[in-house]
Amino acid sequence: MSEDTEIQQADMPPERPGLDSDTVQRAVSKLSSERPTVITEMMGMVGSMANPLQQKMNEGHITQALNLAVQHDQNEFKLKEKQMGIEAAHGLQDRVFHGCLFLVFVVLLVITLFLFRHDPTVLLPILTGVGGLGTGFVGGMGYSRIARGKSESD
């Protein structure tokens, strides 16, 4: 015999007489009928096979996955920070716009009062209309804030 065949025979497990598939199947069925918990435990140990990719993973793959997770978190933070800046700028624009509208409203009201202060028959309908516009403006602002609050919570 050559050395190669001796090495191959040394690597092979010795054959056991009486361990054919029928014998094993009978032993398993007998064990499962007598002790079902033991067979369940055995199946659990045999059935928990590892994913074949886990054997191929090394430290480089894990490091790369962790680096990707860190990069994702940083990108997410930058995106949220940018979105908050946009929302703050939008809120400032809204305040400036509403402030300008309020100033225009007050100026028109003062001019109307100054021009028609001696004629109450004309001043009364004008003030009633201006009051309705002002009330509608303030009500619309409140409604928009409530609607915006509901849409943010959804």
Average pLDDT over every residue of 70-91: 90
| pLDDT recorded at residue 39 | 66
| pLDDT recorded at residue 128 | 87
pTM: 0.41
| pLDDT recorded at residue 79 | 93
**What value does the CA radius of gyration of the chain take, rounded to a whole number of Å?**
42
| pLDDT recorded at residue 72 | 94
- Asked whether 126 and 116 are in contact (CB, 8 A), the reply is yes
In terms of average pLDDT, the best of 34-38, 70-74, 94-98 is 70-74
Angle, alpha carbons 119-125-129 (nearest 5°): 135
| pLDDT recorded at residue 10 | 47
4 φ, ψ to 5°? -65, -45
- Asked whether 130 and 104 are in contact (CB, 8 A), the reply is no
pLDDT digits (tens, 9 = 90+) for 124-138: 888 888 888 878 877
The two tokens of residue 109 are: 């009201």
The two tokens of residue 128 are: 């009633």
- Asked whether 112 and 123 are in contact (CB, 8 A), the reply is yes
The gap from C-alpha 35 to its chain's centroid, in whole angstroms, comes to 47
- Asked whether 54 and 61 are in contact (CB, 8 A), the reply is no
